């Protein structure tokens, strides 16, 4: 049955303001309302605003000026949000660093972004220190000690400056706000340049997405277990929660018992999560021991979700589950399905949000727009699309067309009503638990081992994680290296989500005449054996 297009055609004109205006407005509207629940600690909107004002002053005293980059390396905590907003109030750009990164990855991001200051949580200082010898120009470091007031520490610096934030003129349309890093297919990650307007327009799109049951409400209590350094946590959880006045329940490290306990204890009403968490909810017998009746809906993003698992979780929890879609390059949200059964299409990520153009084009030339039902590469355009990759014009030109279309690298199909299905990826990136894993990076590291003559890495389908990195390895002559040794070798050099989970030894890696790895051949072989 054909239905009317279920999206708002436009939200124009969008509000033009810096991202930090959300906390300024929230502090004015709800100064005493609880904004963040972090263990036994509580922070109101007024307190978040005041602390971030002081931090911006401390950064200015350190010489931070408009356009400088400040690294932020921390797990989910109240200080992350204070630091994030404080950097923006100083006119600087936040480059959020994956808290699971190893020293090599941290060094790459700090070097590439040319960060002047690094704000790091004390639980991560050891890894940050290990990265220091690899840095071109080590940044000045501010350490977050949640209970510490040392003069050079996070809270010490906040206490030492006047309460007023410096006055920095921001051009929201053109000035960058954040520089998160997104994995590329050819190696280390690239900085995604997002302006203030990219983020704020996407917040408006997200908060005003269609769907009565799953529309955000001012009285929602939102679980924040997804990492805030990731665009999903940053611009679907943190920024919208501040904008609408929601309480955020912080969780620094995922544990299913703690997770269920927090949902129950704080009567969480809105859950934005990823497929591995859903798998846990579907399989974990302890779910029945917790009261989840306050949950109105669950939104699943970052990786495709099977219709079977979606239905199973809804049956176990009694909570509607809907899929959504977005990318770092689109400031996060672009699509969401409906919680209402009469409009939901299980397996789909739903229609595009307001002012988001999407089309599916042929895989050969990437130009010809395909009719509904045919599979091709998804392209999109809208106010939330990035400005490009930092200091990387070649990758930018490959990804953004001259007329503003973003090549997503995802293979998709669209039905006649505009509902989108993500089918596969054109890019070679592996999607592990919502994180992008570049196979070329892992292949390069494997080849550093004396026992490896050749290798290829693919994503192997996995119900819990979506995909796991699997390596095919050709041993060097005379080598007896085993899979366990190689997986340990990699684990010492990359973040946990990038680690190789399975190794198969073979005689030769399939390649084309020019020497390029035919990863698709290995993928098809793997699927045939499944």
What digits encode the pLDDT tens for the residues 381-418?
Answer: 999 999 999 999 999 999 999 999 999 988 889 999 99
Beta carbons of 345 and 359 less than 8 angstroms apart:
no
Give a yes or no: residue 505 inside a domain: yes
Is there a single domain that holds both residue 237 and residue 372? yes
Beta carbons of 206 and 332 less than 8 angstroms apart:
yes
> Which of 308, 239, 321 lies closest to 272 in space, CA to CA?
321
Q: Compare 139 and 5 and report the one with higher pLDDT.
A: 139
What pLDDT does 1 receive?
26
Q: How far apart are CA 291 and CA 281, in angstroms?
A: 13
As for how many domains the chain has, the answer is 2
Q: How far apart are CA 478 and CA 218, in angstroms?
A: 65
Is there a single domain that holds both residue 194 and residue 78? yes
Is there a single domain that holds both residue 409 and residue 517? no
Q: What is the mean pLDDT of residues 329-338?
A: 93
315 φ/ψ sector (left φ>0, alpha ψ -120 to 50, else beta): alpha
Q: Which of 389, 414, 439 is the last residue of a domain?
A: 414
Secondary structure of residue 335 in the 3-state scheme: strand
Q: How far apart are CA 276 and CA 273, in angstroms?
A: 9
Is there a single domain that holds both residue 483 and residue 437? yes
Is there a single domain that holds both residue 406 and residue 457? no
Give a yes or no: residue 153 inside a domain: yes
Is there a single domain that holds both residue 398 and residue 480? no
Considering the chain, what is the average pLDDT of its residues? 90
Is there a single domain that holds both residue 59 and residue 185? yes
182's enclosing H/E stretch is strand 181-184
Is there a single domain that holds both residue 242 and residue 379? yes
Tell me the pLDDT band of 185, cut-offs 50, 70 and 90.
Answer: very low
CATH of the domain at 154: 3.40.50.12780
Is there a single domain that holds both residue 367 and residue 332? yes
CA atoms within 13 Å, Cβ hemisphere of 400:
20
Q: Which of 363, 387, 414 is the last residue of a domain?
A: 414
Is there a single domain that holds both residue 288 and residue 222? yes
Lowest mean pLDDT among 208-222, 225-239, 252-266, 330-344: 208-222
Give a yes or no: residue 5 inside a domain: no
Query: How far is C-alpha 244 from the geometric centre of its chain's CA atoms?
Result: 21
What pLDDT does 2 receive?
32
Q: What residues make up the domain containing 510?
A: 430-529
Give a yes or no: residue 424 inside a domain: no
Q: How far apart are CA 2 and CA 343, in angstroms?
A: 11
Q: Compare 116 and 518 and report the one with higher pLDDT.
A: 116
Query: How far is C-alpha 506 from the geometric centre of its chain's CA atoms?
Result: 35
Is there a single domain that holds both residue 169 and residue 253? yes
Strand ranges (DSSP E) for 196-280?
A: 221-224, 247-250, 270-273
Tell me the pLDDT band of 351, cut-offs 50, 70 and 90.
Answer: very high
Q: Which of 355, 383, 414 is the last residue of a domain?
A: 414
What pLDDT does 375 receive?
87
Tell me the pLDDT band of 213, cut-offs 50, 70 and 90.
Answer: low
Give a yes or no: residue 2 inside a domain: no
pLDDT at 81 over 50: yes
Peptide bond into 485 cis (omega under 30): no
Tell me the pLDDT band of 12, cut-offs 50, 70 and 90.
Answer: very high
pLDDT digits (tens, 9 = 90+) for 443-468: 878 988 989 988 899 989 887 888 89
pLDDT at 154 over 50: yes
> Which of 325, 259, 326 lies closest to 295 in space, CA to CA?
259
Give a yes or no: residue 265 inside a domain: yes
What pLDDT does 145 receive?
92
CATH of the domain at 443: 3.30.300.30
Lowest mean pLDDT among 38-47, 91-100, 465-474: 465-474
Using alpha carbons only, how large is the chain's radius of gyration in Å? 23
Q: What percent of the chain has pLDDT over 90?
A: 63
pLDDT at 514 over 60: no
Lowest mean pLDDT among 166-180, 414-428, 448-462: 414-428
Give a yes or no: residue 12 inside a domain: no
- Neighbouring residues of 404: CB distance < 8 A, sequence distance ≥ 6: 381, 385
pLDDT at 6 over 70: no
Tell me the pLDDT band of 187, cut-offs 50, 70 and 90.
Answer: low
pLDDT at 256 over 80: yes
Give the pairing of strands 297-300 and 321-327: parallel
Tell me the pLDDT band of 426, cut-offs 50, 70 and 90.
Answer: low
Give a yes or no: residue 423 inside a domain: no
Beta carbons of 134 and 112 less than 8 angstroms apart:
no
Copy the structure tokens of residue 301. Answer: 């993003």
Report DSSP state, residue 498.
Answer: G
Is there a single domain that holds both residue 355 and residue 257? yes
């Amino acid at each position: 049955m054909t239905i009317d297009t279920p999206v708002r055609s436009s939200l124009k004109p969008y509000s033009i303001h810096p991202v930090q205006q959300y906390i300024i407005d929230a502090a004015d509207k709800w100064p005493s309302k609880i904004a963040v629940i972090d263990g036994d600690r509580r922070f109101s909107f007024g307190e978040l605003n005041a602390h971030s004002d002081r931090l911006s002053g401390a950064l200015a005293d350190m010489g931070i000026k408009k356009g400088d980059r400040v690294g932020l390396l921390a797990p989910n905590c109240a200080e992350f949000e204070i630091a994030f907003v404080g950097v923006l109030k100083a006119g600087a750009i936040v480059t959020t660093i994956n808290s699971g990164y190893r020293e090599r990855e941290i060094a790459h991001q700090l070097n590439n972004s040319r960060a002047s200051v690094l704000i790091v949580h004390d639980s991560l200082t050891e890894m940050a220190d290990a990265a220091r010898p690899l840095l071109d120009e080590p940044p000045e470091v501010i350490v977050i000690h949640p209970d510490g007031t040392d003069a050079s520490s996070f809270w010490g610096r906040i206490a030492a400056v006047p309460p007023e934030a410096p006055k920095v003129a921001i051009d929201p349309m053109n000035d960058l706000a954040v520089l998160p890093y997104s994995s590329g297919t050819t190696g280390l990650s690239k900085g995604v340049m997002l302006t203030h307007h990219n983020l704020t327009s996407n917040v408006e799109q997200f908060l005003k997405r269609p769907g009565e049951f799953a529309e955000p409400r001012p009285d929602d209590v939102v679980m924040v277990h997804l990492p805030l350094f990731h665009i999903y946590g940053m611009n679907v959880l943190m920024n919208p929660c501040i904008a609408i006045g929601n309480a955020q329940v912080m969780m620094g490290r995922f544990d299913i018992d703690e997770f269920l306990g927090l949902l129950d204890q704080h009567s969480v009403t809105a859950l934005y999560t990823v497929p591995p968490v859903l798998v846990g909810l579907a399989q974990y017998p302890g779910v029945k021991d917790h009261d989840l009746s306050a949950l109105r809906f669950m939104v699943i993003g970052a990786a495709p979700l099977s219709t079977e698992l979606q239905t199973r979780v809804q049956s176990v929890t009694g909570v509607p589950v809907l899929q959504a879609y977005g990318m770092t390059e689109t400031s996060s949200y672009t699509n969401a399905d409906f919680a209402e059964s009469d409009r939901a299409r299980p397996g789909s990520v739903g229609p595009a949000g307001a002012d988001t153009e999407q089309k599916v084009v042929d895989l050969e030339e990437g130009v010809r727009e395909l009719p509904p039902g045919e599979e091709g590469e998804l392209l999109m355009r809208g106010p939330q699309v990035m400005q490009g990759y930092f200091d990387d014009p070649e990758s930018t030109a490959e990804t953004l067309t001259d007329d503003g279309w973003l090549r997503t690298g995802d293979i998709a199909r669209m039905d006649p009503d505009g509902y989108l299905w993500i089918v596969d990826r054109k890019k070679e990136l592996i999607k592990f638990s919502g994180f992008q894993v570049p196979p070329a990076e892992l292949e390069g590291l494997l080849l550093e081992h004396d026992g490896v003559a050749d290798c290829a890495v693919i994503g192997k389908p996995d119900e819990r994680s979506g995909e796991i990195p699997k390596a095919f390895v050709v041993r060097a002559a005379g080598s007896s290296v085993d899979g366990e040794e190689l997986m340990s070798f990699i684990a010492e050099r990359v973040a946990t989500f990038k680690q190789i989970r399975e190794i198969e030894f073979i005689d030769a890696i399939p390649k084309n005449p020019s020497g390029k790895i035919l990863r698709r051949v290995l993928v098809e072989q793997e699927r045939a054996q499944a």
